[in-house]
Structure formats: structure tokens, C-alpha cells
Amino acid sequence: MNASAASLGLLSCPTCSLVSRAPAGDGALAFATCARCGSALAYRKPGSIGRTWAFLIAAMALYVPANTLPIMATSSLFGSSDDTIMSGVVFLWEDGSWYLALIVFVASILVPLAKIIGLVVLLLSVQLGWRSHQAERARLYRLVESIGRWSMLDIFVVALLVTVVQLTALASVRAGPAALAFGAVVVLTMMAAMSFDPRLIWDPVKEPRERHSHA
């Protein structure tokens, strides 16, 4: 057995994973539901490529203000400073906390960038109908899916610093506009990854043989 469920007219349930036969008749597929749990069934996530691009383009646009605007404004008796994500990393590095600098750099700068580039590669490869490197692209998809959440790190750090420092008389920390943009990038890239249907990577694989057998 070496065929996709879809090529045999079978639908698998995204909720309870029961495999069922697609209903016969024109238009019946649009209303297909799982007999066991009632979830809507489809061969592939509807509008996957368009939705993924939409979330991804919005994320790319917001990635710019997220990195250029200040994420945190600190003021104290010794003066005030606006920190972007990158200047925060540089500060930690120069301060000797290279391990913290590395964690924040990976979670806040590298992870969102890797996610955006990874999804662009996946989308283009599917739209251009690539037939090679499926296993590598499947791994890339799993990587993009699993690292996404870690870029929330900086939002949590800002939230805690703001809370603990805001009440002291000597210093105050305020969240900057980049916090909003950055939070949006995290949410949008996660939604982009969820909209992408990894089964599309494998769909062109069987085509040559099918064409052959029809001929």
C-alpha cells in the first residue's frame, strides 16, 4: 500500500483521525462530516495556500516595526533609554550575560525570521510543484511548527519587567510600540503555519504514475 488517502477517495478526520469514504454526488463533499465525531471533512485544508500567504505577508510587514521601534522604554535617575529588541541583545552581550543575549537573540530575531523564510520556501515549492526533497520539506514544516511559540519569550519578559519595575520610585519601565508589532508577528506566523497543509508537499509525487496508468 503506497497511496494517499485522497487518491483512493478517502477522507481522514482532523479531530478523531477516523478514515471515511468521501460522499458520492456533486457538491456532497462540501458538507462531508465525520460519522464518529461530527467534524467537517476535506481532502486538504480549504484555501490553504492563499490563507498562508495572507498571514505571512502581514507578518513580514510587521516584522519591520517590531525590530526598528522600541520594545521597552526605561527611565531612572541615571537617565532614560529606549531599547529595540536588537539593542537589548547587544546590551546583554556587553554586560557579560552572553547566554541571555543568545537566548533572546534566538527566540526574538532568529526564530521569527526562520519561520518566515521556511514558510516562503514551503509555499513556493508547493506552488511550483516540486517533486524532490519531500522528506526534507516535511522536516522543515515540523521545525517551523514547533519553534514558532518560542518567540513569545520577549513579550513575557517585557510584561514581567514592566510589572515589577513600574511601581518603584527610582525607575520605570514601559512597554514600547514594538511590543504590539512583535506580538502580532508571533500570532500571524503561528496562524500561517497552522493554515499551511503539509500534505500538499506530497501531492505531486504520485502524478506521473497515475498519468501513465490512465494512458
Partner 1 sequence: MNRAELLACPECDLLQSDSAVPRPRKALCARCGAVLYQRHDQGLERTLALTAGALALFAIANAFPILSLELQGERTDATLAGAVSALWSQNMQLVAALVLFTAIIMPLAELAALAWLLAPLRFGLRAPQFGAVFQLLQFAQRWGMVEVFVLGSLVSFAKLGHLANVEAGIALWSFAGLMLVMAAIEANFDPRDLWERVAPV
Q: Segment 24-43, which members bind partner 1 (CB under 8 A)?
A: 35-39
Residues 85-124 that bind partner 1 (CB under 8 A): 92, 95, 97, 100, 103-104, 107
194 binds partner 1 (CB under 8 A): yes
User: For residue 21, what are the β-bridge partners?
Assistant: 10
Q: Report in angstroms how near the CB of residue 145 gets to partner 1 at its nearest.
A: 9
Residues 158-177 that bind partner 1 (CB under 8 A): 158-171, 174-175
The kind and range of the H/E element at 76 are: strand 72-76
The residue type of 128 is L
Measure the CA–CA gap between 196 and 142, rounded to whole angstroms. 11
Which residue, among 206, 142, 140, has the nearest Cα to 5 in the 3D structure?
A: 206
The residue type of 90 is V
Binder to partner 1 among 18, 29, 49, 120 (CB under 8 A)? 18
Which residue, among 179, 181, 151, has the nearest Cα to 82 in the 3D structure?
A: 179
Q: Report in angstroms how near the CB of residue 159 gets to partner 1 at its nearest.
A: 4
Exposure class string for 83-118: b at 16+ Cβ within 10 A, else e: bbbeebbeebeeeeeeebbebbbbbbbebbebbbeb
Q: Report in angstroms how near the CB of residue 163 gets to partner 1 at its nearest.
A: 4
Binder to partner 1 among 16, 28, 90, 117 (CB under 8 A)? 16
Residues 48-67 that bind partner 1 (CB under 8 A): none
- In this complex, which beta carbon is closest to partner 1, that of residue 63 or of residue 141? 141
- In this complex, which beta carbon is closest to partner 1, that of residue 96 or of residue 215? 96
Q: Report in angstroms how near the CB of residue 149 gets to partner 1 at its nearest.
A: 5
